[in-house]
Amino acid sequence: MKIVIITETFLPSIDGVVTRLTAAIKHLRQLNHEVVVIAPDLGEVTLEGVTIERVKATKLPFYRYRSFALPQRKVKDLIAKHDPDLVHVVNPALVGATGVYYAKKLGYPLIASYHTHVPKYLDFYKLYRPLKPIFWHYFRKLHNMAQVNLCTSKAIQDELIEKNFHNVHLWKRGVDIDKYHPNNATDSMRKRLSNGNPDKKLLLFVGRLAPEKEIYKLKPLLENRDDVRLAIVGDGPSRQELENTFAGTDTVFTGFLQGKELAEAFASSDALVFPSITETLGLVILEAMAAGLPVIAAKSGPTMEQVANEKNGLLFENGNTASMIQAIEKLEDEDLYQKLSRNARIEAEKFSWSEPSQQLVDFYDDLLHVQVEHKLVQ
């Protein structure tokens, strides 16, 4: 089959959406399916055997950190040019909204997948908080134009169904268990992340530095414990503000890491801290587990689907500093720590990318089968 994938973000940008998408595309190519990706022009990129159509991207006044592709008619021309069997719009919001509209107008079978919990993000941007019902209406309207909708956790699936999104299915999680592995630990990376204090307890945060990630909530932990070091891996619009917030604490900001360096960062730390409750999944949780890291996470539906308290990680109450500190203190129990580390890796090994990638192919096949049956009935 021939698939056109329209996405709001793609290589060379790296995040959970791109990681999932590239794994699925590689699987599709292994099965000899033809794939065309329509994505914002964020820089030169190639992916073997894949046609990549780049559309103009620009920085928005209210979010200068990265560029976005706005709705544009060029998407219609590209869909028509490639004439696919189906269209998959990933995270429809801006250029993806154009993809949904034109795929529907041109009569192509349409799948949409929900990855970024934008309405929930508005809770962390006071100026835009009153717009939350409008955002829900907007995303519901887009997704309900698709015959099939996918999301990445059971908790988000339940929420979308409650919000009257139609035909919502769970797209299972996955991780590269070969790339992320305990054997990638290095003394040099640990010294780097701990600012030359490798004997201290080293906690790791990995992700985009933005208000909804609630990274600032980790500061009291450092103020209460002089034996803890925090490494913050990533970049984003809140970096300067966070560097000011954490000034004077034992915190290292590494900026963006990827590939071998990121794998080493996971494996060279003692635990991943995950304070956010806005994720639709939180892929870094599974990546950390694959590296043998216990995950210390704020309780949320998607997080609790991955982290079992005192089995492969530790959970704390969001916004409760005492609860977070108590969770960190449990790492002092060496027997418990070793159990958490072993079980984290065991859990991750259940989730290679092959199953969710094949699951996506099955969704495509099912949709095309339904379309054929519908035409026969007509």
End-to-end Cα distance, the chain: 23
Pairing verdict, β 51-55 and 34-40: parallel
Tokens matching residue 344: 């984290």
pLDDT in tens, 161-188: 999 999 999 999 999 999 999 999 999 9
**In this predicted structure, what is the pLDDT of residue 376?**
61
**In this predicted structure, what is the pLDDT of residue 90?**
98
pLDDT in tens, 286-306: 999 999 999 999 999 999 999
Helices 132-143 and 95-106: crossing angle, nearest 10°? 40
User: Which DSSP category does 61 fall into?
Assistant: T
Q: What does the radius of gyration of the chain's CA atoms come to, in whole angstroms?
A: 21
| DSSP per-residue string spanning 108-130 | --EEEEE---HHHHGGG-TTTGG
Binning pLDDT at 50, 70 and 90, where does residue 319 land?
confident
pLDDT in tens, 82-131: 999 999 999 999 999 999 999 999 999 999 999 999 999 998 887 788 99
**In this predicted structure, what is the pLDDT of residue 51?**
98
b/e 273-311 (16+ beta carbons within 10 angstroms → b): bbbbbbbbbbbbbbbbbbbbbbbbbbebbbbbbbbbebe
Give strand ranges (E) for the chain: 2-7, 34-40, 51-55, 58-60, 63-68, 86-90, 110-114, 148-151, 168-170, 201-206, 228-233, 251-255, 271-274, 295-298, 313-316
Asked if the model's pLDDT at residue 375 lies above 80, the reply is no
Pairing verdict, β 63-68 and 58-60: antiparallel
Fold agreement between 2-174+353-377 and 182-348: yes
Asked if the model's pLDDT at residue 38 lies above 80, the reply is yes
pLDDT in tens, 242-298: 999 999 999 999 999 999 999 999 999 999 999 999 999 999 999 999 999 999 999
The answer to whether residues 189 and 265 touch, using CB atoms and an 8 Å cutoff, is yes
**In this predicted structure, what is the pLDDT of residue 30?**
97
Tokens matching residue 247: 């000034």
Q: What is the CATH number that goes with domain 182-348?
A: 3.40.50.2000
DSSP three-state, residue 221: helix
The answer to whether residues 343 and 331 touch, using CB atoms and an 8 Å cutoff, is no
Q: What is the CATH number that goes with domain 2-174+353-377?
A: 3.40.50.2000
Instruction: Work out the average pLDDT over 34-50.
Output: 95
Report the mean per-residue pLDDT for the chain: 95
**In this predicted structure, what is the pLDDT of residue 201?**
96
Asked if the model's pLDDT at residue 366 lies above 80, the reply is yes
Q: Where do the structural domains in the chain lie, given as residue ranges?
A: 2-174+353-377, 182-348
**In this predicted structure, what is the pLDDT of residue 370?**
86
